[in-house]
Amino acid sequence: MEKTSSDSLPLTVNSSEKHETVCIFGTGDFGRSLGLKMLQCGYSIVFGSRNPHMSSLLPSDAEVLSYSEAAQKSDVIIITVHREHYDFLTELIEVLNGKILVDVSNNLKINQYPESNAEYLAQLVPGARVVKAFNTISAWALQSGALDASRQVFVCGNDSKAKQRVMDIVRTLGLTPLDQGSLMAAKEIENYPLQLFPLWKFPFYLSAVLCAFLFFYCVIREVIYPYVHEKKDSTFRMAISIPNRVFPIAALTLLALVYLPGVIAAILQLYRGTKYRRFPDWLDHWMLCRKQLGLIALGFAFLHVIYTLVIPIRYYVRWMSRNMTITQATTKKENPFSTSTAWLNDSYISLGILGFFLFVLLGITSLPSVSNTVNWREFRFVQSKLGYLTLILCTAHTLVYGGKRFLSPSILRWYLPSAYVIALIIPCTVLVSKFILILPCIDRTLTRIRQGWERNSKSSKSALNGKTDI
Amino acid sequence: MEKTSSDSLPLTVNSSEKHETVCIFGTGDFGRSLGLKMLQCGYSIVFGSRNPHMSSLLPSDAEVLSYSEAAQKSDVIIITVHREHYDFLTELIEVLNGKILVDVSNNLKINQYPESNAEYLAQLVPGARVVKAFNTISAWALQSGALDASRQVFVCGNDSKAKQRVMDIVRTLGLTPLDQGSLMAAKEIENYPLQLFPLWKFPFYLSAVLCAFLFFYCVIREVIYPYVHEKKDSTFRMAISIPNRVFPIAALTLLALVYLPGVIAAILQLYRGTKYRRFPDWLDHWMLCRKQLGLIALGFAFLHVIYTLVIPIRYYVRWMSRNMTITQATTKKENPFSTSTAWLNDSYISLGILGFFLFVLLGITSLPSVSNTVNWREFRFVQSKLGYLTLILCTAHTLVYGGKRFLSPSILRWYLPSAYVIALIIPCTVLVSKFILILPCIDRTLTRIRQGWERNSKSSKSALNGKTDI
Amino acid sequence: MEKTSSDSLPLTVNSSEKHETVCIFGTGDFGRSLGLKMLQCGYSIVFGSRNPHMSSLLPSDAEVLSYSEAAQKSDVIIITVHREHYDFLTELIEVLNGKILVDVSNNLKINQYPESNAEYLAQLVPGARVVKAFNTISAWALQSGALDASRQVFVCGNDSKAKQRVMDIVRTLGLTPLDQGSLMAAKEIENYPLQLFPLWKFPFYLSAVLCAFLFFYCVIREVIYPYVHEKKDSTFRMAISIPNRVFPIAALTLLALVYLPGVIAAILQLYRGTKYRRFPDWLDHWMLCRKQLGLIALGFAFLHVIYTLVIPIRYYVRWMSRNMTITQATTKKENPFSTSTAWLNDSYISLGILGFFLFVLLGITSLPSVSNTVNWREFRFVQSKLGYLTLILCTAHTLVYGGKRFLSPSILRWYLPSAYVIALIIPCTVLVSKFILILPCIDRTLTRIRQGWERNSKSSKSALNGKTDI
């Protein structure tokens, strides 16, 4: 039996891997790099080329033959040619029959062609077993070994044995194959390397608009207003003072926007009396980019912290402080110590520091490698419990910062309230709604809905199902 | 031979994966989400349900049949039903004979039942091959694709072929299967998602107790003492000044506690004259949570840094500084520059910054993805050499901070020394012990013990064995 | 067919994994730990020992036999004996024929022996199938489960079935096997755990030399010069003031050195008129350690930020500030507010903060787990676009900091310019060169060269090839 089992071992290549031959069509950068890497990993490589005698810079251990000669040497043929030049393959249809063709191509734009390159290849050579792979790997990374970006190789194909063969090659090269299913997934795989942070787009634009609005709001109140009323040049405030108002407000607002969709979803479920109806698309999308919103908020919070810590270094602040001291010394005015001011001042600083600390913790746990080591209960504990605590601390920080000035009308300039008042709108809304939602009576209904209960009786049997099933 | 090898390919499913059918018992959230995901990955899904005609919200491509009809359609049956309702499976024993049953259930409490759900299932349906899997994956994560927490799927089962089948499904869904051995591991796998940071528990409570003690100690010295003796209201110090004493002391003490068990272990080995005796349990447990202790210490150090950097922004500090300047200006008293004070002051700040910097480095290298890229020699170099350097720098920072005041009796209030004196006890003990342990004569003995040498001659032959073996 | 496929399943061990027997030669720490771990994972373990009756501390479930008896019990034999003691295996050649021998040994020095331990083992026992594995795993980590450093097990061997068997064992133990090809890779695998940050060596020494040079330069200008000319003791400046000059200069210079090799490579390609010639070795090496250079630069930038933020806390600064206030108060000299100074001062602080913020972002995206989740386009966008923006901001920060003083001759001391002037040389060179390289006419040529075009016509056909291939 030992012997038969070794004869029928199909997944691993031949008994001594060194002699398995793989054919590469095309001698461009990627073909050469891949060939070199495969040679290093023990494969024999034969290149197929239009002009086998003209090809330069190929690894010296590799054979270079014409396309049809090369194709006959191996079961696996990697096509490192641009899609526009696939036509030559139609002449090789007979040779390629039954072979595994690996499509590694990428396009220049998302959805450039109606069908994916791999599907197009499968149409051109109907007898071949086409597998999509390697398109997310860069030639330079293969060559230098500096696979910093990603070791993941998405693989898809209709023939599972062919796919398995390719995945074995991927593994042998020290990369991680990820089976993406049938060739229908090729389009998505081909679009993947062309994406530029798709989930970050909405949070980024939102925060850009928010910052621009806040910046102009503050410029009006703190630069234009003093200039109009007192002819004072405060333009220098645009370098530090105003950013240090914009950043904390943006941070707090974005942090509140992370928790707002959860509150809206709960209200929707309560209103509908069931969880068995899809949320609107905008809410789904919003929920999916909460992590990105939170990380951008953390970025703003970080900037706010540093902009605040440099305050005593600034020329303007030192000049002000010195002048105040001199004025007080010369006028001999008393300046008694106010314990309540000290309390208020120290409290809002302390609340801010603790809020920032928890925020940084949240950011660290959202690192992929950290979140991979925690289970769901731990992840939810951190992201929900600690997240709300962060929001509460940061909102309290802003409230105490406002202190008594909060509702004083003297703070209005051209009927515009202080910027931090704006910062409080969304966070307070979220916190008040959340507080109402966790009142026992409402929380109980919500929990029942989430366990499958439905308010209108018609579908109660399906609800019953839902309660016994997971 | 090509042909036979392709016929006997058992690991991958059928030739065109799209048509493999998997059966899911139960139409709850998890069943539905898993079914949808598997449909997307090319499987055919048939749901088994008590009321096949009443089930709503199922993916439209899936069939819904009665349990026994559904079971006949597939070799692999995923049971997404709560353990309490497993009884209905006893009626299907004949249909389920030889089938692969995948238990995905979780409990509400750790060790809720004497045997694991999967083992219970195996008892109920003795003819089936039970595999535990998927219990760490959340339905919401499957549906939304936001698998932030973990892509790891723990798999266990007594039948390795059945396990292999399930692991193939896991891989096809883009998740990472982790073989945990036989079904005996199911209990641990079922407890895993119910845990809440088990390794963090002891370090967390320890640091909470430490902080509470230090806080009250400082309140007595800095709030109650001045109030009793001078009727001065210093309560505002509780917001920043006192936390900024508590945090650095807690940080330094916890950091020393990271290195203390290593020192104790070395002393134990020296005392016993052998390494072939187990350490007491408390020492083993302590050693396992050193990383968590260190990270909590880093958190306190981070807070200490920010609380220190905000000092010049505080109202109290600005008020003090202004008053001192005015007093000096009006009294026209000289205040000569003291180079030695400048040296002391700058040194302890500089030592603190460098210590914190190394501490942050230690924290970064303990991130899972970073520590995965270093080998053992590098990991030990960072965690041991750099770790001790951090401890030395931070202890020196505290010593220089104390400076000349250190032993002055005027610092005692109600016989209580300054808080930072307490901070130095454990770090200095660790550093002195470590220094003694690396003295050449002692280090030589310790190294011999760690290489397998034993002091009492009886077991010298086993020691001899130990020296030739790794 | 079901039945035959199950008979010929070779990759997974026997039907019930629990009974597969693995033999371990040697009863040292590593042998014992590995044996215990394998027992826990369902293997039967039999130890081979010189003195089977003397061996202590072995897991109680394991059998201990003589070498030849033990070897007969299993196909897989793990040799946990030092290379120096391999000789005894020559007596067992017959028993070991056809067996899989797993070499787990490490050496004490890199390239200690002419051939790797695994190749030496293969020569000693020619009939056996030698596989190298497990040498990167520590005994302590296996035992405690604290596999913090690395779960990766490098595996190599000439017999792919044997290798597959070993990789299955590795996977069952919860570790990640990485196929490194034939036994020729054993040398590299054996050297791996002896390396100490090989890619960090050059950046580390470079930055150490840079820091030492800058430190002495600043000591001459700021400590020795004032002492010689004014008999002023400024030695205390060595604790904070001078490091806070050295660190930002080192940071900016190293950051510029990250982008310099890219610029040099582009110029070389333009000059040669082709990309089909290898870069000199030093340039290749430089390009490979750019990430390390950048991270060290980030470390210096981090130190610079904290050293800057503590400025107002320093005794020297507080003393200076108080004296200046008093002088101004007593002399009643006016000190009008200068908007342009405020602008300059706030701008360079703000530029520095933004530069540091982007730098931290760059650092975070270079964490392995983060860079694994982005595709190449995103990685390049961050590392190139954001990287250059960081360099521009940090250079501008230094330029504005210099401000008007920049070219004033009064700043020279002993003909030495201010240190920050030195900081600007490399960054400005890089930025100017890059600016020239992205001028449309030059950029067009460079892009064509990078797409495979060559200036001299001889090899135009190979260039043609290059253009159709990827």
> Can you give the pLDDT at residue C54?
67
Q: Count of A–B CB contacts within 8 Å?
A: 225
Mean pLDDT value across chain C = 83
* A315 contacts C346? CB cut-off 8 A: yes
- Give the tens place of pLDDT for each residue, C415-445: 778 888 888 899 999 999 999 999 999 999 8
Chains touching chain B through at least 3 C-beta pairs below 8 angstroms are A, C
> Can you give the pLDDT at residue C12?
35
| pTM for this model (two decimals) | 0.85
Across the range B140-144, mean pLDDT stands at 68
> Can you give the pLDDT at residue A8?
33
Comparing alpha-carbon positions, the chain B residue that sits nearest to A8 is: B5
Closest partner CB to B28 (pick from A163, A361, A466): A466
> Can you give the pLDDT at residue C366?
87
Identify which of A21-25, B50-54, C140-144 has the greatest average pLDDT: A21-25
* B105 contacts A470? CB cut-off 8 A: yes
Closest partner CB to C313 (pick from B349, B376, B466): B349
Q: How confident is the model at residue A469 (pLDDT cuts 50, 70, 90)?
A: low
Residue A446 has pLDDT above 50, yes or no: yes
Q: Looking at per-residue confidence, does C451 or C263 come out higher?
A: C263
Residue B433 has pLDDT above 60, yes or no: yes
* C309 contacts B378? CB cut-off 8 A: no
* C379 contacts A85? CB cut-off 8 A: no
Of A11, A70, A6, residue with least CA distance to A44: A70
SS3 C277: coil
> Can you give the pLDDT at residue B431?
96
Closest partner CB to B178 (pick from C174, C194, C323): C174
Residue C253 has pLDDT above 90, yes or no: yes
Secondary structure in 3-state letters for chain B: CHHHHHHCCCCCCCCCHHHCEEEEECCCHHHHHHHHHHHHCCCEEEEECCCCCCCCCCCCCCEEECHHHHHHCCCEEEECECHHHHHHHHHHHHHHCCCEEEECCCCCCCCCCCCCHHHHHHHHCCCCEEEECCCCCCHHHHHHCCCCCCCEEEEEECCHHHHHHHHHHHHHCCCEEEECCCHHHHHHHHHHHHCCCHHHHHHHHHHHHHHHHHHHHHHHHHHHHHHHHHCCCCHHHHCCCCHHHHHHHHHHHHHHHHHHHHHHHHHHHHHHCCCCCCCCHHHHHHHHCHHHHHHHHHHHHHHHHHHHHCHHHCHHHHHHHHHHHHHHHHHCCCCCCCHHHHHHHHHHHHHHHHHHHHHHHHHHHCCHHHHCCCCHHHHHHHHHHHHHHHHHHHHHHHHHHHHHHHHCHHHCECCECCHHHHHHHHHHHHHHHHHHHCCHHHHHHHHHHHCCCCCCHHHHHHHHHHHHEC
Closest partner CB to A160 (pick from B5, B12, B41): B12
A63 min Cα distance to partner chain B (Å): 25
Of A411, A429, A431, residue with least CA distance to A420: A411
Closest partner CB to B236 (pick from A342, A367, A375): A342
Secondary structure in 3-state letters for chain A: CHHHHHHCCCCCCCCCHHHCEEEEECCCHHHHHHHHHHHHCCCEEEEECCCCCCCCCCCCCCEEECHHHHHHCCCEEEECECHHHHHHHHHHHHHHCCCEEEECCCCCCCCCCCCCHHHHHHHHCCCCEEEECCCCCCHHHHHHCCCCCCCEEEEEECCHHHHHHHHHHHHHCCCEEEECCCHHHHHHHHHHHHCCCHHHHHHHHHHHHHHHHHHHHHHHHHHHHHHHHHCCCCHHHHCCCCHHHHHHHHHHHHHHHHHHHHHHHHHHHHHHCCCCCCCCHHHHHHHHCHHHHHHHHHHHHHHHHHHHHCHHHCHHHHHHHHHHHHHHHHHCCCCCCCHHHHHHHHHHHHHHHHHHHHHHHHHHHCCHHHHCCCCHHHHHHHHHHHHHHHHHHHHHHHHHHHHHHHHCHHHCECCECCHHHHHHHHHHHHHHHHHHHCCHHHHHHHHHHHCCCCCCHHHHHHHHHHHHEC
Q: Looking at per-residue confidence, does C151 or B177 come out higher?
A: B177
Residue A209 has pLDDT above 70, yes or no: yes
- Give the tens place of pLDDT for each residue, C401-423: 887 666 666 667 777 788 888 88
Q: Looking at per-residue confidence, does B458 or C215 come out higher?
A: C215
Q: How confident is the model at residue C56 (pLDDT cuts 50, 70, 90)?
A: low
> Can you give the pLDDT at residue A373?
77
Across the range B326-350, mean pLDDT stands at 86
Across the range A377-397, mean pLDDT stands at 91
Distance in angstroms (rounded) separating the CA atoms of residues A98 and A128: 5
> Can you give the pLDDT at residue B293?
94
- Give the tens place of pLDDT for each residue, B146-185: 555 467 788 888 888 888 889 888 877 777 777 777 888 8
Residue C400 has pLDDT above 60, yes or no: yes
Residue A90 has pLDDT above 80, yes or no: yes
Alpha-carbon distances, residue C151 vs A327, B274, C132, C176 (angstroms): 67, 29, 16, 6
- Give the tens place of pLDDT for each residue, A266-291: 999 999 888 777 788 899 889 888 99
Residue A205 has pLDDT above 80, yes or no: yes
Q: Looking at per-residue confidence, does A358 or A158 come out higher?
A: A358
Comparing alpha-carbon positions, the chain B residue that sits nearest to C106 is: B470
> Can you give the pLDDT at residue C192?
83
> Can you give the pLDDT at residue C408?
65
Q: How confident is the model at residue B144 (pLDDT cuts 50, 70, 90)?
A: low
8 Å CB contact between B401 and B231: no
> Can you give the pLDDT at residue B150?
63
> Can you give the pLDDT at residue A462?
46
B360 min Cα distance to partner chain C (Å): 10
Chains touching chain A through at least 3 C-beta pairs below 8 angstroms are B, C
Distance from the Cα of residue C440 to its chain's centroid: 36
8 Å CB contact between B358 and B390: yes
B136 min Cα distance to partner chain A (Å): 7
Across the range A108-133, mean pLDDT stands at 89
Distance in angstroms (rounded) separating the CA atoms of residues C240 and C243: 5
- Give the tens place of pLDDT for each residue, C15-55: 344 458 999 998 888 888 888 888 877 788 999 888 777 66
Amino acid identity at A362: L
Q: What share of chain C is helix, strand, coil (3-state, %, to 5)?
A: 65, 10, 25
Across the range A233-244, mean pLDDT stands at 91
Residue B7 has pLDDT above 60, yes or no: no
A401 min Cα distance to partner chain C (Å): 22
* A376 contacts B193? CB cut-off 8 A: yes
Chain C residues close to A307, C-beta within 8 Å: 350, 353
Residue C232 has pLDDT above 90, yes or no: no
What are B173-177's contacts with CB under 8 Å, separation 24+? B173/B37, B173/B38, B173/B41, B174/A178, B174/A179, B174/A180, B174/B41, B175/B137, B175/B147, B175/B151, B176/B151, B176/B152, B177/B133, B177/B153
Residue B457 has pLDDT above 90, yes or no: no
> Can you give the pLDDT at residue B468?
62
* C193 contacts B339? CB cut-off 8 A: no
B160 min Cα distance to partner chain C (Å): 6
Residue B62 has pLDDT above 90, yes or no: no
Identify which of A48-52, B210-214, C113-117, C281-285 has the greatest average pLDDT: B210-214
Comparing alpha-carbon positions, the chain A residue that sits nearest to C327 is: A326
Q: Count of B–C CB contacts within 8 Å?
A: 221
> Can you give the pLDDT at residue B260?
95
> Can you give the pLDDT at residue A169?
86
> Can you give the pLDDT at residue A78?
93
Comparing alpha-carbon positions, the chain C residue that sits nearest to A197 is: C378
**Least confident segment among A222-226, B111-115, B404-408:** B404-408
Q: How confident is the model at residue B374 (pLDDT cuts 50, 70, 90)?
A: confident
Comparing alpha-carbon positions, the chain B residue that sits nearest to C104 is: B470
Chains touching chain C through at least 3 C-beta pairs below 8 angstroms are A, B
**Least confident segment among B80-94, C141-155, C329-343, C450-464:** C450-464
Amino acid identity at B104: V
Chain B residues close to A378, C-beta within 8 Å: 149, 195-197
Closest partner CB to B30 (pick from A379, A381, A470): A470
Q: How confident is the model at residue B268 (pLDDT cuts 50, 70, 90)?
A: very high
Residue A380 has pLDDT above 90, yes or no: no
> Can you give the pLDDT at residue A464?
47
Q: How confident is the model at residue A335 (pLDDT cuts 50, 70, 90)?
A: confident
Identify which of A132-146, A170-184, B16-30, C92-106 has the greatest average pLDDT: C92-106
Across the range A215-234, mean pLDDT stands at 90
Cα torsion angle, B87, B91, B92, B93, sign: positive
Mean pLDDT value across chain A = 83
How high is the ipTM of this complex?
A: 0.83
Across the range A32-49, mean pLDDT stands at 84
* C350 contacts A81? CB cut-off 8 A: no
Distance in angstroms (rounded) separating the CA atoms of residues B383 and B437: 18
Comparing alpha-carbon positions, the chain A residue that sits nearest to B105 is: A470
> Can you give the pLDDT at residue C144?
61
Q: Looking at per-residue confidence, does B47 or B179 come out higher?
A: B47
Residue of C365, C376, C379, C467 to mutate, testing the A interface (most A Cβ within 10 Å of its Cβ): C376
Chain A residues close to B316, C-beta within 8 Å: 337, 342, 345-346
Residue C354 has pLDDT above 50, yes or no: yes
Comparing alpha-carbon positions, the chain C residue that sits nearest to A192 is: C375
> Can you give the pLDDT at residue B16?
41
Q: Looking at per-residue confidence, does A439 or C55 come out higher?
A: A439
Residue A129 has pLDDT above 60, yes or no: yes
* A375 contacts B193? CB cut-off 8 A: yes
* Residue that has been written with the tokens 């709030």 in this structure: B223
Report residue A399 as tokens: 């409230």
Residue A4 has pLDDT above 50, yes or no: no
- Give the tens place of pLDDT for each residue, A58-68: 777 788 888 88
Pairing type for strands A152-157 and A129-132 reads: antiparallel
Closest partner CB to A465 (pick from B13, B40, B55): B55
Q: Looking at per-residue confidence, does A463 or C376 come out higher?
A: C376
Closest partner CB to B310 (pick from A8, A349, A369): A349
